[in-house]
Amino acid sequence: MVDFPPGGVLFANNRKSNPKAPDINGKLEIDRATLEYLVECRDRGGKLEMALAGWRRQMKTGGEYFSLKAQPPRNLAESILHEKVKERKKPTDDMLNRLPESNMDDEIPF
């Protein structure tokens, strides 16, 4: 649907059957990184927030639609990423215990 997720499209709803029907509708695709960001926000108890941008586009048939791009808010996404990188740099005791034993005491064959 979209070339570069997360993103989507919105079209005019030409089949409105009642006054409460939406004026526009469409779809949004998200990628794995965006899903992980949203899960992280949920786990932290924060609100699930995305920044949206839209561009008016012309269809080949003459109608208009909006192309959408979604992304995590820059300041929040950067702080989460920074914390994740810091967490990954600290080896835990469990990680160190799983390292293979060193063979540095072996005789050198030359």
Question: Could you list the pLDDT tens digit for every one of the 110 residues in the chain?
Answer: 556 668 899 999 888 899 999 999 999 898 888 888 888 888 888 777 888 899 999 999 988 999 999 887 777 656 666 566 565 555 556 555 555 554 555 565 55
Q: Do the Cβ atoms of 49 and 63 come closer than 8 Å?
A: no
Query: What is the model's pLDDT at position 37?
Result: 81
The domain limits of the chain are 1-13+23-81
Q: Whole-angstrom Cα distance, residue 11 to residue 62?
A: 12
CB atoms inside a 10 Å sphere around CB 102: 7
* Lookup: tokens for 38: 């949203």
